[in-house]
Amino acid sequence: MDVCLPQILNRTPIRKGKTMSTKIKTLDITNVGPIKTARITNLNNKTLVVVGGQNASGKSTVLNAISMALCGAKHDIDVPIHEGEAEARIVLETEQFTVSVVYTKKGRALQIKERPGFVKPKGGDQSFLNNLLGAPVDPLEFTRLKPDEQVKVIAELAGIDVDAVQEKIKDLETERRIIGREVTSKEGALQQFDIDMGDDEIPSKLIDTAELTQKLREANQHNRQADELKYQLERLNTQTESLTNRAKQLQDEYKQVRASLEECNKTGEALNAQISAFKFIETESIEHQINNATAINKRIEQSAERERMGAEAKQLKDQYDNFTLEINKLKASLTEIDPNAVKVPGLQIGDGCILLNGLPFTSASSAEQIKTSLAIAASKIGDCRVLTIKDGSLLDDNSFEYVRQFAEENDLLVLVEVVGNGDRADYIIREGKAFKNHAELNEEIAKEPEAGSQLDSFFGGIEIGNLDDAEPELVAK
């Protein structure tokens, strides 16, 4: 059976724009579980009601009866009908209507009877209760949840889908790791480039070696004209020498060859003039450029590749940083709790746990945990404004007083279950019956055999005064 925890884990966040407030007035229980008969009254004028009794006496059923009446069959106890009875009944009266739940062997039947001046909206009775009232919540249940379950509770109140956010963070971190490896690879490749151009500036474009080769070819062709002229001059000198020798030998032919000699001299002078005026093209620098072009072009290509890889590395690094920024934003979103949803200063969602003032919730003091749990429970309840605390015996005096104060300040009805019949109990459950004061209980015990000895044993040597709406008076012997 699951009575109070689902109200924390499964209900939707607090509704906006509520226009109705409903208070429980009375609770009548007949033949429900171990309870034979119990009537709790005047609840609309109280903020704290303590139900006491020994273990297995039926006090938990009193608190469960509220969930059974308001929250549907899923909150029924395992055996709702008292042993030996044909039917069980819970009647819960509020200021606007009365809820009746009857259990028989055929099942359960729910009925809502409106009080004068109140009209129930159209729709099923259980749907009306679910949408309007919500369900009572046990605030101490939150302190006993595992850290990841506490995270789910707070995330639901704050409207945060923790699983979706964490899944998105996981995906982004995977993509970021892949990009990080690519960034490292690119940066490592960049370091392998050795571009040492000295003081020379790297040209902006590749050198056209074909154009330089054509220039060299044209220069060599031009310069070969000078070689031809030199060759012609050498032949002419040979001819002149031959003619001179022949002139010495053939003095008689001197006049005939004189004209030819003079003509040759003139031609020779003209050729000398052309040679003197000829402008040679310097080819050494062209040859040097051709020799260096390959190395320079390689460096230009390396520079371009390095620039390209540098741009890719920067782009990947920017993506990596953007993923990191988005991941940090998503993680920050888990800590942003709407103060209107949970009015607990310093409450945050941490990594797999709830944080209170920067520390794990489990590290907080018991008082701080109780205060926080009360605020969380109050954020989850509906307009019936009811909280139930099953383990009230675990509360010390200070915690108990804080629960009372919290209930008064927030206009709540808090029902607390405690073990025993001490001065805290407003109602005492014994053998399936509820007693609203110790006098009623004393009368019941007195009717039983050996009443006196049982009475002493039951109260452990404590003199008991009347227990009514006022504080009981307990006087130790």
Q: What percent of the chain has pLDDT over 70?
A: 83
3-state SS, residue 87: coil
CA distance 130 to 74: 12
For residue 210, what pLDDT is reported?
Answer: 85
pLDDT band at 356 (very low <50, low <70, confident <90, very high): confident
| DSSP notation for 175-190 | HHHHHHHHHHHHHHHH
For residue 38, what pLDDT is reported?
Answer: 93
**Average pLDDT, whole number, for the chain?**
80
Question: Are 298 and 158 contacting, i.e. CB atoms less than 8 angstroms apart?
Answer: no
3-state SS, residue 98: strand
Sign of CA dihedral 63, 64, 69, 72: positive
Which is higher by pLDDT, 467 or 181?
A: 181
Please state which of the ranges 66-75, 148-157, 314-323, 426-435 shows the lowest mean pLDDT. Answer: 148-157
Centroid of chain to Cα 467: 53
| Angle formed at CA 261 by CA 260 and CA 266, multiple of 5 degrees | 100
| DSSP notation for 11-40 | SPSPPSS------EEEEEEEEETTEEEEEE
pLDDT band at 82 (very low <50, low <70, confident <90, very high): very high
**Cα distances (Å, whole numbers) of residue 242 to 247, 248, 255:** 8, 10, 16
| Angle formed at CA 118 by CA 113 and CA 121, multiple of 5 degrees | 80
For residue 135, what pLDDT is reported?
Answer: 53
Question: Are 463 and 455 contacting, i.e. CB atoms less than 8 angstroms apart?
Answer: no
For residue 133, what pLDDT is reported?
Answer: 60
**Cα distances (Å, whole numbers) of residue 331 to 162, 169, 304, 322, 361:** 10, 8, 41, 14, 18
Question: Are 193 and 302 contacting, i.e. CB atoms less than 8 angstroms apart?
Answer: yes
| Angle formed at CA 414 by CA 409 and CA 419, multiple of 5 degrees | 135
Q: What is the DSSP letter of 399?
A: H
Cβ-based neighbours of 82, under 8 Å, separated by 6 or more: 31, 32, 33, 34, 35, 36, 88, 432
**Cα distances (Å, whole numbers) of residue 86 to 30, 89, 149, 199:** 11, 10, 40, 107
Tally of CA atoms within 13 A in the half-sphere of 282 that contains its CB:
4
CA distance 352 to 342: 19
